[in-house]
Amino acid sequence: MNAFDHLRTRIQRAFSSSTNTNINSDGQQSYSVSNNHFSSYYRFNLPTNRQTYLETSLHTLHEHENSISQSTTIINSNQSHPEILSNSSKRTLRTIPGVFCPIALSMLAISIFMRIGFVLAHAGVLQTLLQLSLCFVILFCTLLSICSLSTNGAIESGGIYHMISRALGPEFGGAIGVLFFSAQVIGNGQSVAALVEALVDSFGPGSKANIFYSTRWWRFLYGTIINCLSLLTCLLGSWLYSMAAFSIFILVSFVYLMVVISFFIRGPHLVLIPKVNIYAYENEEQIFNKTDHLYGHYTSFNSSTWTGNLYANYTIDYTTGDTTNFVSVFGVLFSSIIGLLSGANRVEWSGLNNPNRSIPTGSISATLYVFIIYIIETLLIAATTDRYTLLNNYLFLQEINIWQPFVIIGIVFAVFSACLSGIIGASRILQALAIDEIFGPLLRWLKRGTTRHGNPVAAVFVTFVLVELTLLIGSLNKIARIVTIFFLLAYFAVNLACLALDLASTPNFRPTFKYFSWHTAVIGAIGSIIM
């Protein structure tokens, strides 16, 4: 007798040995089944004919025999890759360094220092608050769906892809996995482009250092260098980043605190407009003249400044040359706070000791923390900095801070950590797709070869090449719009998957997270597909 026949026999004995009949609230007959063979007490809503129900149950059990065999194949595949199992057995990180910090860093990396002024300059205070609310409603509803998946069973390499594929099957999970991988790759390209923009604006034409060129191909070269550094760190020392995530978070939080303090202690002064803004400087002579500069105004707290920033004023984005609108600005804002998937996608390599508890707690805490930070910063900027400055210098916070290098230091650490998080998370998803052989032999070669700390070498190199292609798109804001599309589709897929699992009442979807419901999944799915 094989294991499957033995399980069938135990179920038959359980039904025949002990059943208690009750009448539920709907007037239907139900049976409570208890047996010493089972470790807990199970309750089933049964038809009146027990024999019919038993036959149906056994038929369903027989249908799942093939899926059990497939799961065995997957387990054997994982056993052939001991680096995955060994890495999973060494989970020691807790919620704050393992989930809270990477999610908060990813959601703060770009917008908090580089793009909140852009959004406020074009959308105004009222529409900025509206856009932030829309972003976080979608994020929070999706977060509840992710939490339900994370508490539904063991989480292995591949993060959310692994959760969905085990619940809905490899075909549906594979389609979502490809979507997640694409979103992570383009998001990583956005992080690299953001770091390049920060360095060029701070040390490029018109700055005191003037060591970087600002033309397109020079920017691509700088992005390639940053991408190579991410690649080397991922292959040789990703464990250092895992250990340093909490320290980086403390550093970025300290820089943000200094920015907030600066709003209260700095008096009115001029803010330099960077020479890379060719729309502010009317001709090349002004751009190359080291003594000819334009300035905006930091007014400190001023009612006129607040009134001037209250309403929308969509105009030209000097980094792309395109005229903005509500949708394009929303795309930039949403793409900057896409770190929601970082915690779940980094679980296996970061080594959480209790991912089923840490992901819900850390994700919800990080999301609320970031939302409060964005609201506070939006209100402070709107009351202290004139619109001309916001429109023409997206890194104006450096000029406002009590010590200018603080901001660029915070940007470098926050954005580079997002680059590492992106390349590791994307490569893990690609490796999981290869291990499950969703595409047959096409991706089989990607599951071979891992570093000492479990990073898939081939998948990391593929991710690196795709990020390089993403950098060819150009400026940060152009990449941001594409990132938003992919992540909105990814969030839609997560909510749709959880909605289907909940409405179908599938036996393999029994999350312990109690705040998820099909209502939140519907709101998240509708919000994602509309935006």
Per-residue pLDDT, 345: 60
* pLDDT at 516 exceeding the cut of 80: yes
pLDDT in tens, 374-400: 999 999 999 999 999 999 999 899 889
Q: Identity (one letter) of the amino acid at 501?
A: L
Scanning the structure block, which residue is given the tokens 């920033």? 309
- Are 450 and 234 spatial neighbours (Cβ–Cβ below 8 Å)? no
**Token code pair at residue 138:** 């979608």
Rg over alpha carbons for the chain, rounded to the nearest Å, is 26
- The average pLDDT across 130-144 equals 91
**Token code pair at residue 234:** 């991922």
**Token code pair at residue 114:** 């580089």
- The average pLDDT across 354-375 equals 86
- Within the chain, how many helices (H) and strands (E) appear? 23, 5
What's the mean per-residue pLDDT of the chain? 77
pLDDT in tens, 169-179: 777 778 888 88
User: What DSSP line would sit under 401-466, residue for residue?
Assistant: SSSTHHHHHHHHHHHHHHHHHHHHHHHHHHHHHHHTTTTGGGGGGGGS-B-TTS-BHHHHHHHHHH
Burial of 54 (0-12, 13-18, 19+ CB in 10 A): middle
CATH for the stretch 104-490: 1.20.1740.10
- Are 147 and 412 spatial neighbours (Cβ–Cβ below 8 Å)? no
- pTM beyond 0.75: the answer is yes
226 or 42: whose pLDDT is higher? 226
* pLDDT at 14 exceeding the cut of 70: no
* pLDDT at 305 exceeding the cut of 80: yes
According to DSSP, residue 316 is labeled: B
Per-residue pLDDT, 314: 94
Half-sphere exposure of 143 (CA within 13 A, CB side): 24
pLDDT in tens, 418-477: 888 888 888 888 888 888 887 777 777 887 777 776 678 888 899 999 999 999 988 888
- How far apart, in whole angstroms, are the C-alpha atoms of residue 238 and residue 243? 9
- The average pLDDT across 199-216 equals 80
- How far apart, in whole angstroms, are the C-alpha atoms of residue 423 and residue 230? 8
Work out the pLDDT band at 223, boundaries 50, 70, 90. very high
According to DSSP, residue 323 is labeled: B
- The average pLDDT across 316-344 equals 83
- How far apart, in whole angstroms, are the C-alpha atoms of residue 114 and residue 104? 16
Work out the pLDDT band at 34, boundaries 50, 70, 90. very low
Work out the pLDDT band at 79, boundaries 50, 70, 90. very low
Give the percent of the chain with pLDDT over 90. Answer: 23
The torsion angles phi and psi of 46, rounded to 5 degrees, stand at -110, 150
- How far apart, in whole angstroms, are the C-alpha atoms of residue 283 and residue 263? 33
Per-residue pLDDT, 156: 62
- How far apart, in whole angstroms, are the C-alpha atoms of residue 16 and residue 95? 45
**Token code pair at residue 517:** 């419901």
Q: Is 483 helix (H, G, I), strand (E, B) or coil?
A: helix
All CATH 1.20.1740.10 domain ranges of the chain, comma separated, are 104-490
Per-residue pLDDT, 2: 52
End-to-end CA distance of the chain: 56
Per-residue pLDDT, 443: 78
Angle between helices 3-17 and 50-63 (to 10 degrees): 160
